[in-house]
Amino acid sequence: MSVCQNRVGCSNIAYPKLVVEILPMGFRGLILAVMLSALTTTLTSIFNSASSIFTLDLWTKMRKQATETEKMIVGRIFILVLVVVSIAWIPILNAVQGGQLWNYLQSIYAYIAPPWCMVYLLGAAWNRITEQGAFWGLLVGTAVGVTRMILDWSYPKHGCGEVDTRPAVLAEVHYLHFSILNTAISAIAIVVISLLTTPREPAQLAGTTWFTRNRKRSSVLSLHTQEPGAGPGTNNEEQKQTEGFVY
């Protein structure tokens, strides 16, 4: 507390202290420029991506006749809203994980990322996965992660040297260990629900998974010519175009 005015820990000043006290004078400015550049590009990409998603995917659905000028103005206003929300989020950052920014970022990833990761990995590596299994597995994993995140925000982290009186799921299970648990829960949910639902047809798997990546989908034109002696009105007179898959 006397070093960094944070009763939980001083991890926030570890890297700046390392740069200021160990690196020579020229490298300090270089590292500062690199950090500011990385921060600027990260914020720019996030704001632009979020603005594009809102403007093109949501606003144009509500206003189909929106002009390009209107879309540009809406996108810029949405970025301003994001900036205001980001500033208003600072008190929450100070409250969660004892104001330790790195721990906060890693905990959010640990709570949200596991189900998405398992859906992607199983979808690419397992032919038996189904749409229902992926959807409900993602829903279950996200619900588990969000529940832990809400509990983490509801019970402030204890200070250095203090007894941890939080629930056991918070006090005994580190958020990185919880991410492993949530990964297993998500994988089990995806596998079980996929096995209980109708599998996809082999033709639908062409080029969609690792084991079917070399299967090519192609259109085969089958010309059924009329057989000798076949009269009018028979199926042999028709020319049909059918789709097939080459394995």
DSSP structural state of residue 240: E
Query: What are the contacts of 144-152 at 24+ separation with CB within 8 A?
Result: 144/182, 144/185, 144/186, 145/110, 145/111, 145/112, 145/114, 145/115, 145/182, 146/111, 146/112, 148/111, 148/175, 148/178, 148/182, 149/107, 149/108, 149/111, 149/112, 152/96, 152/97, 152/107, 152/111
Answer yes or no: do 106 and 169 share one domain: yes
* pTM tops 0.75, yes or no: no
Is 36 part of a structural domain of the chain?
yes
Residues 9 and 100: beta-carbon distance below 8 Å: yes
User: Considering only 110-119, 135-144, 206-215, which range has the smallest mean pLDDT?
Assistant: 206-215
Is 77 part of a structural domain of the chain?
yes
Q: What is the residue whose two structure tokens read 């990833």?
A: 109
Predicted local confidence at residue 247, as pLDDT: 38
Residue span of the structural domain in which 71 resides? 1-88
3-state secondary structure of 157: coil
Q: Which residue has the higher pLDDT, 242 or 195?
A: 195
Tokens for 154, please give them. 């509801």
Answer yes or no: do 65 and 139 share one domain: no
HSE (side-chain half, CA atoms, 13 Å) at 118: 28
- φ, ψ dihedrals at 178, nearest 5°: -65, -35
The residues that bridge with 80 in the sheet, in sequence order, are: none
Answer yes or no: do 116 and 197 share one domain: yes
Residues 54-94: tens digit of each pLDDT: 999 999 999 888 899 999 999 999 999 999 998 898 887 77
Answer yes or no: do 185 and 124 share one domain: yes
Question: Rounded CA gap, 67 and 51, in Å?
Answer: 16
CB contact set of 220 (below 8 Å; sequence gap of 6+):
242, 243, 244
Residues 137-183: tens digit of each pLDDT: 999 999 999 999 998 888 877 666 677 788 888 888 988 999 999 99
Question: Rounded CA gap, 85 and 143, in Å?
Answer: 24
Is 210 part of a structural domain of the chain?
no
Is 108 part of a structural domain of the chain?
yes
Count: domains in the chain: 3
